[in-house]
Structure 1
Amino acid sequence: MRLIGNIIWLILGGLALAAGWALVGVLLCLTVVGIPLGVQAFKMAKLTLSPFGKTVTYGGGLGSILANVIWVLLVGWWMAVGYVVAGLANIVTIIGIPFGIQSIKMAQLALMPFGSRVSKRLY
C-alpha cells in the first residue's frame, strides 16, 4: 500500500514539490549562512518524495529550539499553513484522506525542521 500511495503522491504533485524543495536547498546552500536552512529544505524534499512509510521524530536541544523559533517566525508558519490547508482539502474527499494525513505530517516538519529526523517506518 505504501508503494501505491507514494506513486500516486508523486504523480499528483509530489515530484514537483520535491524538486522545488531541492532547488530551494541548493540556492540556500550557495551561501554559508544559508547552509543550515538548505539542509532543512533537503529534509523536506526527502519526505516529499515518499511520505508514505516514513516517520518524523523530533528531538534536539536548545540550539534546535532556538533555530526552530527563528524558522517559525521567518518562513515556517506560512509553509505549515499551506500544508494544513492542502491537507484539509484532501481530507474532504474520502479517497484523499491518506494524502491529507501526509500533508499534515509535512506541516509539522515545515513548522519545526531543526532537530527532527525523517526515517523509514519499521512496521
Structure 2
Amino acid sequence: MLNTILNIVWLILAGIWLWIGYVLAGIVMCVLIVTIPWGIASFRIANYALWPFGRQVVSKRTSGAWSFIGNVIWVILVGWVLALTHLATGVLLCITIIGIPLGIANFKLIPVSLAPLGKEIVDA
C-alpha cells in the first residue's frame, strides 16, 4: 500500500518528467540505428523511472566487458545528462519533508542512469 502511494506521488512530482527524458534519449538512440541497444536500455529504465517503488535494479550475472564498453559510450552520449537530471530533481524534492523519500529514490537512480547496460529490474 505504501509503495503504491509513493509511486503515485512520484509519478506526479518527478516520474513523468524523468520518463519523458528517458524516452527521448531512447528515441534518439533508436534513430541512430547503431545505438539501438542503448535505446532499448533507455526504454527499460524509463519504465522503472515511471514507477520505481517496490522494484529494484540488479546486475545481470551474464554481463561482461561489452556491457562496460557500452556503458562508457552511454555516459558520453546521454548518461551524464540523465544523471544531472536525477541530481537536480532529487535536490528539489528534498527541499520538502514529504519529498525526501522521493529525492532519495532519485539519487538511487543516478547509478543506473550512468550505466544501464548489464542491469535488470526485478520486484523487491
Q: How high is the TM-score relative to the length of structure 1?
A: 0.84
2:82 corresponds to 1:79: yes
Structure 1: 5+ residue stretches without partners:
none
Q: Is the 1:47–1:106 Cα contact (8 Å) retained in structure 2?
A: no
The CA distance in 2 between the partners of 1:23 and 1:70, in whole Å, is 17
* CA displacement at 1:15 relative to structure 2: 2.5
Task: Give the direction of change, closer, same or farther, for the CA distance of 1:88–1:52 in structure 2 (3 Å limit).
Answer: same
Q: Match of 1:94? A: 97
Q: Is the 1:14–1:48 Cα contact (8 Å) retained in structure 2?
A: yes
Of stretches 17-26 and 67-76 in structure 1, the one that deviates more from structure 2 is 17-26
Structure 2: 5+ residue stretches without partners:
none
The CA distance in 1 between the partners of 2:32 and 2:88, in whole Å, is 32
* CA displacement at 1:69 relative to structure 2: 1.2
Aligned length: 121
Q: Give 3-state SS (helix, strand or coil) of 1:12's partner.
A: helix
Deviation beyond 3 Å, 4+ runs, structure 1: none
* CA displacement at 1:16 relative to structure 2: 4.0
The CA distance in 2 between the partners of 1:54 and 1:68, in whole Å, is 22
The CA distance in 2 between the partners of 1:27 and 1:70, in whole Å, is 14
- Root mean square deviation of aligned Cα: 1.9
Q: Percent of pairs identical after alignment?
A: 40
Q: How high is the TM-score relative to the length of structure 2?
A: 0.84
